[in-house]
C-alpha cells in the first residue's frame, strides 16, 4: 500500500511538472486562458425569448423540439426567431437570432442568422480576428473549417444537406437538445432553451494541460494580444521624399458632368430578408417613397439599380456567388418599382451588380461589411 501511494505521488509530481513546463513555455496567463476556452468548447448553453414580429408574421416565432446525438444522428424540428443569449462553445454572445433546424439521422435542413451589430459578442464571434482567419485558412472538410462560431455571414435561407457542420468539423461529435414553446395565437410570446456537450473536446481539454494542442485551437501570442486588445508594435516607415511642387495649368479644365447621378444608397438589411432576395415590409415602404421621389425630381430620366455585396464567400446557399446574389436583388428592386410603384418599365435602363468590387467601407469589419451590402439607385444625367 505504501508503494502504491508513493507511485501515485510520483505520478502527480510528474503531471505537475509537465503542467508547470507547459505553462512557462506559453506564459501562465495565456496558458490558463487557453485551458479555460478548451473547457468551454465542451459546452453549449442558450436561452431565448420572442414575441410577435414582422419576420415570422402569422407563424409561431418559437416552436418545436430537436435532438442531436453527434452530427450523424438528428431528429426533430425547431424554429426560434427572437433574442438569444448563449455560450456557443468558446463563442459567447447575446443578439437577435433567426434559427430553424430539422433533421433525421445525418440529413439536416438549417437556416441560421445572428445579428451581431444589434447585440454583444465576444472575441470568437467576430469574423475579422487573427484566430478566425487562422481557423478558416486550415484544411476544410465537407466545406467546413475546423471551428466556426460566426453566423452573421452564414447564408440564412433554408438549406438541405447532410453533415452541415455549421460549428466546424471539429464539433462533429457535439450532442445537444433544443426546445421552444410559445403562445401561438395572440401575443406569440415564447421561450427557447438549448443545452449540449461535445465529448470530443474532452481530449483536447485534458491534453492541453500537458502542452499538447490536439485541435490546434489555442490562442497564439499574436491572437492572445488581440484578444486582450493589445496592439502589435507598429513598424515605422521612413518618411517619403517631398513631392516636387505642382505647377498649376494656365487654364483650369472644367470637370465633366457625371453621366450617372446617385439618388439613394439603400442598406440591404432594411430592404431584404436576411440571406434572401425577398423584400421586407419596411423595404417595400422605402421603395414606394423612393418611387415618389423619382417621379417628382427625375421624371423622364433613365433609372439604374445596382446590387452590391460584401466580400464574404457564399456558403450553404442557393446563390452560386456574390455576383448571383447582387444581380438577383437588383432585379427584385426593379420588379417592385415597376409592378407596385408605378414606375414605367421603359424608364428602367439597367439592373446590374458589381458584387463586392465597389465597397464603400472596409470588408475587414462587421460594420464595414454591413455598409457594403447595399442597393444603389441612380439616374442618367440629362
pLDDT tens across the length of the chain (382 residues) = 556 665 555 555 554 444 444 445 557 899 999 999 999 999 999 999 998 877 777 788 899 999 999 999 999 999 999 999 999 999 999 999 988 999 999 899 888 888 888 899 999 998 888 998 898 888 888 778 899 888 875 555 667 777 778 888 999 999 999 999 999 888 889 999 999 999 999 999 999 998 899 999 999 999 999 999 886 655 555 667 676 666 655 566 666 667 888 999 999 888 887 667 888 888 899 999 999 999 999 988 999 999 999 887 776 566 778 899 899 999 999 999 999 999 998 899 999 999 999 999 888 776 778 889 999 999 998 7
Three cell numbers, residue 263:
439618388
Residue 238: alpha-carbon gap to chain centroid = 39
In sequence order, what are the beta bridge partners of 161? 108
- Mind spelling out the 3-state secondary structure of the chain? CHHHHHHHHHHHHHHHHHHHHHHHHHCHHHHHHHHHHHHHCCEEEEEEEECCCCCCCCCCCEEEEEEEECCCCEEEEEEEEEEEEEEECCEEEEEEEEEEEEEEECEEEEEEEECHHHCEECHHHCCCCHHHHHHHHCCCECCECCCCCCCCCCCCCCEEEECCCCCCHHHCCEEEEEEEEECCCCCCCEEEEEEEEECHHHHHHHHHCCCCCCCCCCCCHHHHHHHHCCCCCCCCCCCCCCCCCCCCCCCCCCCCCCCEEEEEEEEHHHHECCCCCCECHHHHHHHHHHHHHHHHHCCCCCEEEEEECCCCCCCCCCCCCHHHHHHHHHHHHHHHHHHHCCCCHHHEEEEEEEECCCCCCCCCCHHHHHHHCEEEEEEECC
Strand 374-380 versus strand 260-267 pairing type = antiparallel
Q: Which CATH number fits domain 260-380: 1.10.287.1770, 3.40.30.10, 3.90.105.10, 3.30.1330.60?
A: 3.30.1330.60
d(CA 38, CA 251) in angstroms, rounded, equals 69
Contact between 170 and 200 (Cβ < 8 Å)? yes
Domain limits of the chain?
43-198, 260-380
Residue 154: alpha-carbon gap to chain centroid = 5
Query: pTM, whole model, 2 decimals?
Result: 0.65
Amino acid at each position: 500500500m505504501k508503494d502504491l501511494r508513493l507511485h501515485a505521488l510520483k505520478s502527480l509530481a510528474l503531471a505537475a511538472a509537465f503542467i508547470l513546463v507547459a505553462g512557462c513555455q506559453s506564459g501562465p496567463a495565456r496558458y490558463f486562458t487557453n485551458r479555460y476556452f478548451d473547457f468551454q468548447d465542451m459546452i453549449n448553453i442558450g436561452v431565448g425569448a420572442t414575441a410577435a414580429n414582422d419576420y415570422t408574421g402569422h407563424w409561431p416565432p418559437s416552436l418545436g423540439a430537436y435532438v442531436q446525438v453527434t452530427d450523424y444522428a438528428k431528429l426533430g424540428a425547431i424554429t426560434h426567431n427572437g433574442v438569444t443569449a448563449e455560450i456557443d462553445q468558446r463563442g459567447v454572445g447575446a443578439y437577435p437570432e433567426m434559427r430553424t433546424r430539422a433533421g433525421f439521422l445525418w440529413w439536416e435542413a438549417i437556416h441560421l442568422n445572428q445579428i451581431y451589430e444589434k447585440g454583444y459578442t465576444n472575441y470568437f464571434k467576430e469574423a475579422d480576428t487573427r484566430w478566425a482567419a487562422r481557423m478558416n485558412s486550415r484544411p476544410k472538410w465537407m466545406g467546413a473549417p475546423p471551428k466556426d462560431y460566426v453566423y452573421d455571414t452564414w447564408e440564412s435561407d433554408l438549406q438541405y444537406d447532410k453533415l452541415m457542420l455549421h460549428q466546424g468539423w471539429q464539433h462533429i461529435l457535439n450532442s445537444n437538445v433544443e426546445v421552444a414553446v410559445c403562445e401561438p395565437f395572440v401575443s406569440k410570446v415564447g421561450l427557447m432553451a438549448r443545452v449540449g456537450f461535445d465529448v470530443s473536446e474532452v481530449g483536447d481539454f485534458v491534453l492541453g494541460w500537458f502542452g499538447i494542442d490536439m485541435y490546434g485551437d489555442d490562442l497564439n501570442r499574436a491572437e492572445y494580444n488581440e484578444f486582450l486588445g493589445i496592439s502589435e508594435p507598429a513598424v515605422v516607415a521612413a518618411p517619403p521624399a517631398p513631392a516636387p511642387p505642382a505647377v498649376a495649368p494656365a487654364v483650369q479644365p472644367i470637370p465633366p458632368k457625371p453621366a450617372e447621378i446617385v439618388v439613394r444608397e439603400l442598406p440591404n438589411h432594411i430592404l431584404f430578408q436576411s440571406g434572401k432576395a425577398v423584400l421586407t415590409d419596411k423595404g417595400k415602404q422605402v421603395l414606394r417613397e423612393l418611387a415618389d421621389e423619382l417621379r417628382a425630381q427625375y421624371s423622364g430620366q433613365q433609372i439604374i439599380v445596382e446590387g452590391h455585396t460584401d466580400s464574404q464567400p457564399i456558403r450553404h446557399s442557393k446563390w452560386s456567388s456574390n455576383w448571383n446574389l447582387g444581380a438577383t436583388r437588383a432585379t427584385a428592386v426593379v420588379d417592385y418599382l415597376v409592378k407596385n410603384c408605378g414606375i414605367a418599365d421603359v424608364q428602367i435602363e439597367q439592373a446590374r451588380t458589381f458584387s463586392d468590387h465597389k465597397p464603400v467601407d472596409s470588408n475587414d469589419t462587421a460594420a464595414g461589411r454591413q455598409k457594403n451590402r447595399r442597393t444603389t439607385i441612380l439616374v442618367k444625367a440629362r
